Amino acid sequence: MVVARVSDSLRSASIESPLESYPRAYRERTEVDSEYAVETVESLAALVSYLPHWKRLSKDCLVPNPFYEPFFLLPALQKTRPAGRVLVAFVFKKSSQCPLTEELAGIFPIERRSNGILSLPRWRLLTTSLILRSVPLLTNQRPECALSAFLKWSAKSGIGLLEFDRVLAEGPFQHALVNAFTACGRLPYVTGQSVNATLTRKNHATRPSGKALREINRKHRRLEELGDLQFRSLSETESLSEWQRWFLELEASGWKGRRGTAMMQSDRERELFMTVTRQAWARKKLQMFGLFLDDRPVAMKCNLCSGREGLAWKITYDENFSKFSPGLILELEHKMHFEQQSDLDRIDFCARADHPLCQRTAHEQLCLQRLLIPCDSLVSELYCSAVSFLRRIKRHFRSCRSKSEE
């Protein structure tokens, strides 16, 4: 590990946090061009020296992503073990006066992956079963320049192929992405697209169809007949630890528990859930909702918030009451709660719009995509072209087969 050194004159510069009195510790620093530099970090200990810059960017970034903020990413890297080697690339806009005044313009957590024998190894934006969005944190000021600097660094570092999965295909991030590709002369290959269900304040008057709403209300009345039914949200007057315990126990009581994939059944995932929810609650970035029958939770959900957007991280329900659809009732109650609040403009369900639960509730849509990006490598360029060609052939034969079956 290479540790940055600062002169005595730089140490006397004003600092906003005690952490900034320490030099940034990085594995390698690459001068991309006259304006930008990229510092890569591998160890958790080294990441701590970036916290002041990291927190400032998280508060005022182009598109919020709580999964890449310190309160989530640091415990995620500590408690879980990604399949491949992980680097965090920090893109800095350089200062001609003092390194301490360099402005952090982008954060890209990336992981070395290979998807199979015939798959070309690549570095991909970090995603796991618990990290549901991989949009990098970018500055609001000329975000396309920060993206361009990252792409140039990739080529200089010998990275042949990049993969951006679960990134937005619309809005300001997509605009910055297109501008960055144009500036760098890169041609990305779209290898996957999906649509997430969302709630937005712009269309908050949207309601389920009359038939669906009558069915939900009928099940709601039947559940009320069994006892005192309440929709509740975690508040300052309630115990976070109790809600955490309820959620973990409820998840473990269902199909995830039977498959051995519930968070409570993994020490690392349980500790990650406890740590993330505790830190998010302390930063007012956590929402927890529950449907309670006689003070017993029958459905619960957990949202992580950043800026004016929330992301549905986890949801669970008691399968003993499945015929009453408690998860669906909870979602409808959550929707009404969202319409009455003013702190958030959008909730991303982090689930495909064609998910059975989403299909039964009215929602808007958010487009996501998966991109393969060759980095000035003929091999990776040929590989991406071949993948695109083979996908087209596959779609053609599927189309022909479906027509013949008709």
Residues 6+ apart with CB under 8 A from 388: 189, 191
Which helix (DSSP H) or strand (DSSP E) does residue 356 occupy?
helix 356-359
Block residue for tokens 């730089």: 10
Q: What is the pLDDT of residues 12-68, one digit of tens each?
A: 333 344 545 568 889 999 999 999 999 999 999 999 999 999 999 999 999 999 999
In the chain, the domains with their CATH numbers are 24-187 (3.40.630), 199-367 (3.40.630.30)
Cβ(244)–Cβ(277) under 8 Å? yes
Average per-residue pLDDT for the chain: 87
pLDDT value for 15: 39
Q: How far apart are CA 343 and CA 308, in angstroms?
A: 6
Percent of the chain with pLDDT over 90: 66
138 φ/ψ angles, rounded to the nearest 5 degrees: -130, 150
Q: How far apart are CA 245 and CA 274, in angstroms?
A: 9
Residue type, position 86, single letter = V
Q: How far apart are CA 242 and CA 290, in angstroms?
A: 12
Cβ(314)–Cβ(132) under 8 Å? no
Q: How far apart are CA 243 and CA 289, in angstroms?
A: 9
* Integer-rounded Cα radius of gyration of the chain: 23
Is 174 a residue whose pLDDT tops 80? yes
pLDDT value for 87: 94
Query: At 406, is the pLDDT very low, low, confident or very high (cuts 50, 70, 90)?
Result: low
